[in-house]
Amino acid sequence: MALQQHQSNPVRIANEVGMLRSGMGGPIVLVEGATDTRLFRRLFIPSPQARVIHCKGKSNLLGAIDMVTSRGITGVLGICDADFDRLLGEPAIDNVFPVDHHDTEIMICASPAFSHFYAELYEREADDREMQRTRARLLNYSSIIGKLRLWSIQNGGKVGFKTLNAGEFIERDGVFNIQSCIETLMVGKDLDSNTLLSVAKTSTESPETEISCGHDFTSLLDFDAAIRRRSRPHGREVVEKMLRLSFDAKSFSNTQMYVALRSWEKEERLKLIPDS
């Protein structure tokens, strides 16, 4: 499956889709970023039967899908992170398939692939109960930050998260320091710490896997594992690469997105996913 690069905007992407369609009849898949391309090209049938286009962002992907649809080009789909769309009640878009849970990293962490990844990251043969406890604890921490992220979106982006490294707030005993995290988020912002603390501690019926951001969770994993190993963190990017490599076709087949893509194949009469 070929990796397409862009000086991306929706018009350029839609034009490229049109040119590809004129020379091929197979599926054309739009994905958000380069890491998504590397992940999904392992799981789909190879080029030239199927092609993938890296859109450099969700907004570019959604805009391109809209243009492609309006031009009557068929056999094109988009795969993107759900982010908070389901929690915010955003309507589904034809031929756009959000990953399970909040984003790709959380989807993988919720899959059977996590057990193999866990053993490598923590450098220990842990039993299933220990692995489940660690995952649940760190998902709880990342959901706390997720509630702050969602609150910020709903309140005009008042909180800045670009430089946040969630794992830095895990103490040596494995407890997450909420107060320290909030104080960091407040730097240079006209915010009340009690308001943010109240948001962080508010209970929610939303699943933690829907509200947790993958980058927060992988950062927490990185630092938590480093404490257990008594070594330095690897870095979030390394941890996320390990996650992607752990996610195989069998794990993919257990996702809701897999089922949706199989239905898309039947409707479009196109082959996207190899038979096992």
Residues 252-263 have pLDDT tens digits of 999 999 999 999
CA distance 155 to 248: 39
Looking at residue 124, what is its pLDDT? 86
CA distance 23 to 1: 15
pLDDT in tens, 49-92: 999 999 999 999 999 999 999 999 999 999 999 999 999 999 99
Looking at residue 7, what is its pLDDT? 54
> Which segments in the chain show pLDDT lower than 70?
1-8
Looking at residue 125, what is its pLDDT? 81
Sign of CA dihedral 177, 178, 179, 180: positive
Looking at residue 8, what is its pLDDT? 66
Measured in residues, the chain has a length of 276
SS3 state at 44: coil
Alpha helices in the chain (DSSP H): 10-23, 34-40, 58-70, 104-109, 113-122, 128-154, 178-185, 193-201, 208-211, 214-229, 236-246, 249-252, 256-268
